[in-house]
Each structure stands twice: as structure tokens, then as C-alpha cells.
Amino acid sequence: MYKFTNFPKTIEKEEYELQQDLLLDLCEQDENIIGVYSIWECDLLGVSDLDYLIIFQRYIDKEKISNLAKRYQLIDTVLFLNEENIKSVNYLSHHFSYNLVYGKDFWLEFPKENKNLNIIYAWKVCFFSLLRNFYTYKQNQYIDVKKLLSQINDIRYPIYFLENLGIEKAEYRDFLNEFSDFRRSYFSHQNYEKLEYFLIESIRLSWEIIFDLNQFLEWNNDNTNYIYGRFPTLFSDFDDEQKYKIYTQRLLANIWKWSRVLYLPRGFDYWSWKGSLKEDLNVILSNNNDFLNFWFKNIFLNIVLTIKKILDFITLRTLWKRK
């Protein structure tokens, strides 16, 4: 039996528009800001956040704008890109839907034919989010309703990128359509039993997405077997895909249940990537220092994380030998 927490409350569309206007007023005061895009769309008022991409020329105080934007409750992410690097916009973030809300239109469009970008962005969502979030709820038997409505919605990203890679499955599209209908009508039904069903289905489909993606990952044999800390992970190359699920569940049952640890195919260790895939990842990292968010911005939290890394090392090494 799950315990449900953090129930979303409906927020009027006018409040979203007001907070966007406040951000745009701030941008209009800086002549170096020449374009602002909203990222994706707010399809569930009260759950959806506002995310933006700001295009600038010469110099702007990114930290100042980010800090001011954080004062607005509904604004989550603000990305920045120099006009000189506009051709690198697709090497910035896994987002692929931009809508102009202020200034010059640069006609941003994701290159669906770019194999490496599709692989890297699908990998990012699979590695950092999906199962780590879903297993946390399952292991602890609680559901943060507002967060889960957003986290399950993130499955659309790797499915989109897999479709660009030629992996089109009816069950993926059927799930997205079913959940989208459920999510849009949430405030009219608030069906928590159905939300449990979507959680379990999300775990099942996330594994299938991971295995589908793994066939595109190119890696060297001299890679590491562990990643510790904020996203603890063990890597292997089992012939039987079911073993990844079994060992992940065993790890979660034997260590701190909030650890978010996973057992993944060896190709998911980005340190082991080679060739153009590794080169394109480095281009993304040069444009977005936060793309691989293994650390926090808070010094105290990073001290705690360092201690956790040491504990992970001891615990995971022990379990690795026992596997």
C-alpha cells in the first residue's frame, strides 16, 4: 500500500503568463538579450514548470538572471546561449521543442537525423532519471504525486530519440498516449490507483528502453565497473537482460533504500565511450557544464556526497564480490 504525498493544486493560466511576463520584463532591460524561447509546453497547470532558453550577444550576468528567475515559483530551468554559438544549440540540452516568446527568431529545430545526439540525450534521461526515480517510490512505498506526474512524463524523451534512431514500438506510443490522457485530466479524476499502475509500467518500459538503447552504444573494454555518489551504478555485460533487473533489485534490497543505485549494461558507462560518440559528448559538455550533474552547487551537500561516495565504494565493492 503506497502512501501518497504532495498533491498538486491547480494554478490558473494567468499566473503562468504573469511569471513569464516578469521574466521577459527582466530580459527587456538588458539590450544584450536578443531572444527568449520557452521550452516544451505547459500541458498540466499546477504540475508543469516553465523552462526557458535565453539567447544573448556579447555579455550578460547569467547568475543574476538565474537567481532572479528562481524567485518566481513556476520557473524551473533557464538555459543560456551566446548568439555566436547558435549553431550549437542542439549540443546544449536534451530538450527539442522551443517556442519563441521574445525577440529574434532563430528557427531552432532538433536534427532528427543526428544519430549521436539521439543516443546521448536518450542515455542522459535513462541514466540520471527514470528508474532511479521510479524505484525510489517502489522501494519506499510512497508516491510524491506532483513529482511522479512529471517524472513519468519524461519517458517521452528517450522514446522520441529512439524513434529517430528507427526504434518504433506500438507499446511505447500506446503508453505515452494513455498516460498523456491520464495526466491532462488528473484534476478531474485524481485516480491514485491508476497512478500506481503507471509507476509499475514505467519501470517495465524503462528497462525495455534501456535495452533498446544499449544496442547503439559503442564502448571500449577498458572501462570502469562502478560509479559512486549521487548516481551510484554498477556496470556489466550480461547475456541475459533479466539479470540487470534482478541485481538492481538485490542491490536496492541490501543497501540504503534511498540510494537510487542501478545495475546497467556496460555501454551506459559514458567513460567507456569511443569515437564520434565520445567526441559529441565532449562538445555538449563544452556548451553546458551542468549536463552531467554528478555534483551539487551547494558546498555542504558536496561534502555529504563525498562521504556517500566512500560508503558506496565500500558497500558496492562488497556486493559486487558477492554477486
pLDDT tens by residue, 14-27? 999 999 999 999 89
Q: List C-alpha distances in Å: 135 to 78, 148, 194, 196, 203.
A: 28, 11, 17, 12, 7
Is the Cβ–Cβ distance between 37 and 98 less than 8 Å?
Answer: yes
- Per-residue pLDDT at 28: 92
For residues 226 and 250, membership in a common domain is answered with yes
Mean pLDDT within 73-91: 88
Is the Cβ–Cβ distance between 55 and 81 less than 8 Å?
Answer: yes
Q: Helices 62-70 and 13-28 meet at what angle, rounded to 10? A: 160
Mean pLDDT within 315-320: 61
Confirm whether 5 is domain-assigned: no
- Per-residue pLDDT at 231: 82
Confirm whether 76 is domain-assigned: yes
Q: Which of 103, 120, 148 is the last residue in one of the domains?
A: 103
- Per-residue pLDDT at 309: 61
- Per-residue pLDDT at 92: 87
Confirm whether 27 is domain-assigned: yes
Confirm whether 91 is domain-assigned: yes
For residues 65 and 50, membership in a common domain is answered with yes
Confirm whether 8 is domain-assigned: no
Confirm whether 257 is domain-assigned: yes
Confirm whether 204 is domain-assigned: yes
> What domain range is 306 assigned to?
219-272+293-323
Mean pLDDT within 84-105: 90
Is the Cβ–Cβ distance between 162 and 24 less than 8 Å?
Answer: no
- Per-residue pLDDT at 257: 64
Mean pLDDT within 277-285: 93
Rounded distance between C-alpha atoms, residue 196 and residue 1, angstroms: 10
Which of the pair, 160 or 299, is modelled with greater confidence? 160
Confirm whether 196 is domain-assigned: yes
Residue 306 scores a pLDDT above 70: no
- Per-residue pLDDT at 97: 86
Burial class, 189, CB count within 10 angstroms (exposed 0-12 / middle 13-18 / buried 19+): exposed
Mean pLDDT within 90-118: 92
For residues 205 and 118, membership in a common domain is answered with yes
For residues 55 and 79, membership in a common domain is answered with yes
Mean pLDDT within 277-292: 89
- Give residue 222's pLDDT band: very low, low, confident or very high (50, 70, 90): low
Q: Which of 44, 73, 103 is the last residue in one of the domains?
A: 103
Q: What is the CATH number of the domain that holds 21?
A: 3.30.460
For residues 214 and 137, membership in a common domain is answered with yes
For residues 53 and 86, membership in a common domain is answered with yes
3-state secondary structure the chain: CCEEECCCCCCCHHHHHHHHHHHHHHHHCCCCEEEEEEECCCCCCCCCCEEEEEEECCCCCHHHHHHHHHCCCCEEEEEEEEHHHHHHHHHCCCCCCEEEEEECCCCCCCCCCCHHHHHHHHHHHHHHCHHHHHHHHHHHCEEEHHHHHHHHHCCHHHHHHHHHCCCCCHHHHHHHHHHHHHHHCHHHHCCHHHHHHHHHHHHHHHHHHHHHHHCCCCECCCCCCEECCCCCEEEECCCCCHHHHHHHHHHHHHCCCCCCCEEEEHHHCHHHECHHHHHHHHHHHHHCCCCCCCCCCCHHHHHHHHHHHHHHHHHHHHHHHHC
Q: Which of 218, 240, 259 is the last residue in one of the domains?
A: 218
For residues 156 and 139, membership in a common domain is answered with yes
- Give residue 254's pLDDT band: very low, low, confident or very high (50, 70, 90): confident
For residues 177 and 197, membership in a common domain is answered with yes
Burial call 27-51: b when 16+ CB within 10 Å, e when fewer: beeeeebbbbbbbbebebbbbbebb
Alpha-carbon dihedral angle through residues 177, 182, 184, 186, given to the nearest 10 degrees: -170
Rounded distance between C-alpha atoms, residue 102 and residue 162, angstroms: 32
Residue 322 scores a pLDDT above 80: no
For residues 118 and 169, membership in a common domain is answered with yes
- Give residue 264's pLDDT band: very low, low, confident or very high (50, 70, 90): very high
- Give residue 248's pLDDT band: very low, low, confident or very high (50, 70, 90): very high
Give residue for cell 555579455.
59
Residue 260, Ramachandran bin (φ over 0: left; ψ between -120 and 50: alpha; else beta):
left
For residues 115 and 210, membership in a common domain is answered with yes
User: What total number of domains does the chain contain?
Assistant: 3
C-alpha cell recorded at residue 77 = 530551468
- Per-residue pLDDT at 168: 97
Residue 1 scores a pLDDT above 90: no
- Give residue 300's pLDDT band: very low, low, confident or very high (50, 70, 90): low
C-alpha 58 chain-centroid distance:
30
- Per-residue pLDDT at 114: 96
Residue 294 scores a pLDDT above 70: no
For residues 18 and 94, membership in a common domain is answered with yes
Average pLDDT of the residues of the chain? 87
User: What pTM was computed for the model?
Assistant: 0.88
For residues 239 and 201, membership in a common domain is answered with no
